[in-house]
Amino acid sequence: MKTGFRKYTFVLALFIILALLATQIKWIIYSIRFQDKVFEKSVELALSETMTTLTADKPLCSMVKACVECDTARLKTQLTTAGVWEKIHDAIESELRSYDIDLEYEMYILENKSEELKALQKEFDNGLYYSRCMGGILGHSGYQLVVEFPSRTRFFFAKAGLMFLGSVVLIFLLIVSLYNIFRIYNREIRIAQHTKELLNNVSHEFKTPLSSIALASNMIRKRRYGTNEQKLENYAELIFKENRKLQNLVESLLRLEAVERNAFDYSKEDVAISDVIQEAISTCEMLLDEKQGSILYQPNPDKMYVCVDRLHFINVFVNLLSNAIKYSKNEPQIKIETIKQNDKLRIEVTDNGIGIPLKFQKYIFNKYYRVPTGDVHNTKGFGIGLAYVKQIVEAHNGTISVESETENGTTFIIQLPEIKK
């Protein structure tokens, strides 16, 4: 599947999920509003029915009337003493219950002109207060029965909030899963791409030395060198060189699997860093001669020691040096410096090669990564060398970094703990 199409599908899926989320939220709001309306209508009906019931209770009506006419300031106390307050309260409660409303409520009986009622009337619109005229009970419309539901907002918020939160959590989990699926899918695609590139590279890298060996050995077999001993020597040299290349290739392929699992065995020992570097330089001599390059390395007079796996560290420097040779257009000039830094040893490998653009530098230590631009693709490789180098250096408590400028060469800096001798 093309990358553009993949991205498009992902964006579409994300859009659908967000649309789903928006629809969900809309439905939740709609359902809250609907419940709100149902609540309001039920309370109004319950209060009307309460009034009808209370109006039919004549003894209760005359008691309320008497209390109202006696002392309006201490009305609640009087009604409570007379047992009327309780009766009205119970009547409201049973009506509310019949409408399935089971909320805490407060009850007031207030005079129409009272300041208290005026203050409450401002709040009537928010649905916390409901009132009914007591005309039926008192025979005049001077008083209102007011019912307040203080916990109503919290009740609705708790109900809706739970629904809302549940939906958001579910949709969030859906987005996370989708993102993970996309990441896994992308990784699989990348692996498949790497495997394809690797197979191409491997067959290309093997083809050239194999055909050189076939050619040179055929010349020898058919005695095409005649009596010229020099020619014979050249053919043999070619076979030897190409064979060495093949050996190196096989070694890097074998290493590839270990790099993949980060599973190397180390036999660490105290070694002089200069010995390791010298050995790496001599391994790379043939490659260097082919490109007429040179390596400048002056070991410090007093030896510096590190505790490392000797063979792996020779490979580390062989990798850095062969890259320095590979990635240079002209004759490679490489400089190796070792510097003491407190209890650390800093080793710098500098070349005058094609350099690495800044934006790619953070990727070069990743497995299978190869800089995608410039002349790099004329040079074949598996993109595994620097990943191996980093693994080995870090396994020895060291660090590796790069400083480079396009067309202006590259410096790899390794820092390792120094062993005092």
Q: Which is nearer to ligand ADP, 182 or 369 (CB)?
A: 369
Q: Which is nearer to ligand ADP, 94 or 379 (CB)?
A: 379
List contacts with ligand ADP (CB under 6 A): 323-324, 327, 351, 353-356, 364, 369-371, 376, 381-387, 410
Q: Which is nearer to ligand ADP, 99 or 264 (CB)?
A: 264
Residue 312 to residue 92: CA distance in whole angstroms? 88
Exposed e or buried b for every residue in 185-195, given b needs 16+ CB within 10 A?
eeeeeeeeebe
Least spacing, CB of residue 169 vs ligand ADP, in Å: 43
| Placement of tokens 């969030």 in the chain | 172
Q: Which is nearer to ligand ADP, 149 or 382 (CB)?
A: 382
Residue 167 to residue 162: CA distance in whole angstroms? 9
Q: Taking a C-beta distance cutoff of 8 angstroms, is the pair 335, 294 a contact?
A: no
Q: Which is nearer to ligand ADP, 293 or 353 (CB)?
A: 353
Least spacing, CB of residue 324 vs ligand ADP, in Å: 5
Least spacing, CB of residue 376 vs ligand ADP, in Å: 4
In a 13 Å sphere around the CA of 367, the CA atoms on its Cβ side amount to 17
Nearest residue to ligand ADP on Cβ basis? 381
Q: Taking a C-beta distance cutoff of 8 angstroms, is the pair 334, 410 a contact?
A: no
Pairing state of beta strands 399-404 and 410-417? antiparallel
Least spacing, CB of residue 353 vs ligand ADP, in Å: 4
Q: Which is nearer to ligand ADP, 353 or 398 (CB)?
A: 353
Helix axes 152-221, 229-261, angle to 10 degrees: 160
Least spacing, CB of residue 258 vs ligand ADP, in Å: 15
Least spacing, CB of residue 321 vs ligand ADP, in Å: 9
Q: Which is nearer to ligand ADP, 131 or 201 (CB)?
A: 201
Least spacing, CB of residue 30 vs ligand ADP, in Å: 58
Q: Which is nearer to ligand ADP, 152 or 390 (CB)?
A: 390
Q: Which is nearer to ligand ADP, 92 or 386 (CB)?
A: 386
Least spacing, CB of residue 245 vs ligand ADP, in Å: 14
Least spacing, CB of residue 311 vs ligand ADP, in Å: 18
Q: Taking a C-beta distance cutoff of 8 angstroms, is the pair 255, 318 a contact?
A: no
Least spacing, CB of residue 202 vs ligand ADP, in Å: 11
Q: Which is nearer to ligand ADP, 109 or 400 (CB)?
A: 400
